[in-house]
Amino acid sequence: MYAALLPQVRALLEGETDWIANLANVVAALREAFGFFWIGFYRVKDGELVLGPFQGPVACTRIAFDRGVCGHAYRTGATVIVPDVELFPGHIACSSLSKSEIVVPVRNSLGEICAVLDVDSDRLDDFSEEDRAGLESLVGLLANHSR
Ligand code: SME
């Protein structure tokens, strides 16, 4: 499914320079393809992570760099897979229905982390190495469309 999604997303981004429009279409494409419970971006802004385009229930708007799975992914610069959110120290529960989660750092063309992609599932242990590779490739497409 990721192999099918990548060219679609590449085509969606092509020629569009607006950062928010591109993030919005990426979450919508992911939602349509996989139907995950919550999919969204937190952008690096004003020294913290600020909620960007998302699909799913309302979520917390600001996350400090030293908080949550999102902050952890930002600080380490690496994708974090959390099979059971209750076992992750400092996990921020935006919804009690979220059971597992993956957070992928998004880099701009300078290699700086400018956002993180957060995908939540209402099922335990729902994210695999395939998701890691697929989502990392997907956000890699954003590098030349970021600011
Ligand atoms: N669980 C995330 C917070 C964002 S919500 O899940 C949408 C975290 O611990 O960083």
| Band (1; pLDDT cuts 50, 70, 90) | very high
Helices (H), 35-100: 68-76
Ligand 1 centre distance from Cα of residue 57 (Å)? 12
* 2-145 belongs to CATH 3.40.50.970: no
DSSP secondary structure letter of residue 13 = H
Pocket flag, ligand 1, residue 98 (CB < 6 Å): yes
d(CA 108, CA 141): 10
Residue boundaries of the structural domains of the chain: 2-145
Interval 10-67: pLDDT, tens: 999 998 999 999 999 999 999 999 999 999 999 999 999 999 999 999 999 999 999 9
Name residue 40's beta-bridge partners. Answer: 54, 118
Is ligand 1 within 6 A of the CB of residue 118? yes
Cβ of 101 below 6 Å from ligand 1: yes
Q: pTM for the complete prediction? A: 0.96
Q: Per 3-state DSSP, what percentage of the chain is helix, strand, and coil (rounded to 5)? A: 35, 25, 35
Ligand 1 pocket, 119 CB below 6 A? no
Ligand 1 neighbourhood includes 63 CB (under 6 angstroms): yes
**Banded pLDDT at 147 (limits 50, 70, 90):** low
**Alpha-helix runs per DSSP H in 14-128:** 19-34, 68-76
CA of 141 to the centre of ligand 1 (A): 23
| Centroid of ligand 1 to alpha carbon of 15 (angstroms) | 31
Q: Is 69 in the pocket of ligand 1 (CB under 6 A)?
A: yes
Give the model confidence (pLDDT) of 66-121 as tens digits.
999 999 999 999 999 999 999 999 999 988 999 999 999 999 999 999 999 999 99
Q: How far is the CA of 103 from the centre of ligand 1 (A)?
A: 9
